[in-house]
Amino acid sequence: MGLPFSFQDDFGRNGAPMAKTLGPVKRKFSPWTDPSAVPFIRFENITKRFGNFTAVDNLTLDIYEREFFSLLGPSGCGKTTLMRMLAGFDEPTEGRILLQGKDISGVPPYRRPTNMMFQSYALFPHMTVEKNIAFGLEQDKLPKGEITARVEEMLKLVKLEQFAKRKPNQLSGGQRQRVALARSLAKRPKVLLLDEPLGALDKKLREETQFELMDIQHTLGLTFLIVTHDQEEAMTVSDRIAVMERGVIVQVATPAEIYEAPNSRYVADFIGDINIVDGTVKKTDSALGAPGAVTIDCGGLTFAAEQECQAVVGDNVAYAVRPEKVRISPEQPADTSVNAVNGEVWDIGYLGDFSVFIVKLDDGRVMRAAQANVSRLVDRPITFGDRVWLSWPLDAGLVLTR
């Protein structure tokens, strides 16, 4: 008794049930690996030009039913244009968009079974929260009773029951975001489009809302397409992510694959923190396309990675390794012939959960290693100016051919 922590209430005293109940446990979901699965949305050779500028360039993409799909990329990469074409605000210059197998080109936005949550929320300032949520339902000429019931259900879903009579300018940012979500969900769209939905929220609220979004998507069984430039957000919420650059998709994969097996320098660099060095292939242990070790010469240092070989000896490639996979130690590792470098601690970034060590190698190059702060030591054993060894296993490294 008398513990000063609040989790006591959540877990309950004397074996009482947890205060917060969660839905059914999520199952593994991967229709994209099933060759017989029919895509729910299909972008087919889509090109969109605005004058001389090509926003989307001959892009093909399949999205499956009930998927939480992210379009991720820097601003101007064409992700918002792609979403707006699905909503019907822009028409593709070339190619077509299929929704459940039907071409939706030329269908105006007010007849499409998609709804969008806008980046600015676009709440109607002259209507109450209630009226905002009811707006879409009124357009469908649903009976009054049904509209009221649906609005109540939505208000409950986003926990805003007591704010029904408020106008949008009487709400905080987080509340507005929920109203926008409720309004776009009210019509039970086949696809919900979310344009940078959490961009205007502060970090803590954003993280909470990410999990709420996932819950709502899972409970309602809808297909969500989200546009974001925030890689953490995309990683957290998505089933799959499409990383875009200048109108084309660079990689489509699950968050784990994108992070652990990026297919290019661009993706590796865009997602998370990574050390990347240029080098040439010195030796391959297996034939092209087969798994095996690839050894790279990076200006005198020898790095190797265990992966499917995509290069031949002499190719110019990049070698990459994530900082958290690099071990930092004052002692020399047993094998220093490969994936081991020696240097001096140049800077330390203390992030609370992690510390990032920036190590200056003897040839002047810089590598980063991250270490989880598992103990509550305030004084770290490794500090500025220390000589250290960085090492990592074969399967931690990556050889990037493009």
Partner 1 sequence: MKSSRFDITVLTLGFAFLYIPIVILVVYSFNASRLVTVWGGFSLHWYASMWSNEGLMDAAWVTARVGVLSATLGTVLGTLAALALVRFQKFPGRMLFSGMIYAPLVMPEVITGLSMLLLFVALGVDRGFWTVIIAHTTFTMCYVAIVVQSRLLTFDRSLEEAALDLGCPPVKTFFKITLPLILPAVVAGWMLAFTLSLDDLVIASFNTGPGATTLPIKIYSQVRLGVTPEINAICTILIGLVTIGVIVASLSTKRAEIRRIRDEHLAQRQGI
Residues found near partner 1 in the complex (CB under 8 A)? 87-89, 108-112, 114-116, 118-120, 122, 124-126, 135-136, 139-140, 167, 169-175, 178, 183-184, 187, 205
CB 293 within 8 A of CB 306: yes
Comparing CB distances to partner 1, the nearer of 79 and 240 is 79
Comparing CB distances to partner 1, the nearer of 169 and 337 is 169
Cα–Cα distance for residue pair 248/178, rounded to 1 Å:
32
Comparing CB distances to partner 1, the nearer of 121 and 303 is 121
What DSSP assignment string belongs to 220-272? HT-EEEEEES-HHHHHHH-SEEEEEETTEEEEEE-HHHHHHS-SSHHHHHHSS
Nearest to 179 by CA among 208, 153, 148, 158: 158
Give the pair of three-digit tokens for residue 4: 């000063």
Comparing CB distances to partner 1, the nearer of 173 and 393 is 173
> What is the end-to-end Cα distance of the chain in Å, rounded?
59
Nearest to 323 by CA among 372, 288, 363: 372
Give the pair of three-digit tokens for residue 333: 């590792």
Comparing CB distances to partner 1, the nearer of 166 and 246 is 166
CB of 175 to partner 1, least distance (A): 5
Comparing CB distances to partner 1, the nearer of 96 and 167 is 167
CB of 169 to partner 1, least distance (A): 5
CB of 130 to partner 1, least distance (A): 15
Cα–Cα distance for residue pair 125/127, rounded to 1 Å:
6
Element (H, E) at 55: strand 53-63
Q: Strand 354-361 vs strand 114-117: parallel, antiparallel, or unpaired?
A: unpaired
Burial of 7 (0-12, 13-18, 19+ CB in 10 A): exposed
Cα–Cα distance for residue pair 394/343, rounded to 1 Å:
20
CB of 183 to partner 1, least distance (A): 7
CB of 132 to partner 1, least distance (A): 9
Comparing CB distances to partner 1, the nearer of 11 and 211 is 211
Return the SS3 of 338: coil
CB of 97 to partner 1, least distance (A): 16
CB of 141 to partner 1, least distance (A): 10
Comparing CB distances to partner 1, the nearer of 132 and 251 is 132
Cα–Cα distance for residue pair 111/318, rounded to 1 Å:
48
Comparing CB distances to partner 1, the nearer of 50 and 384 is 50
CB of 137 to partner 1, least distance (A): 9
CB of 209 to partner 1, least distance (A): 10
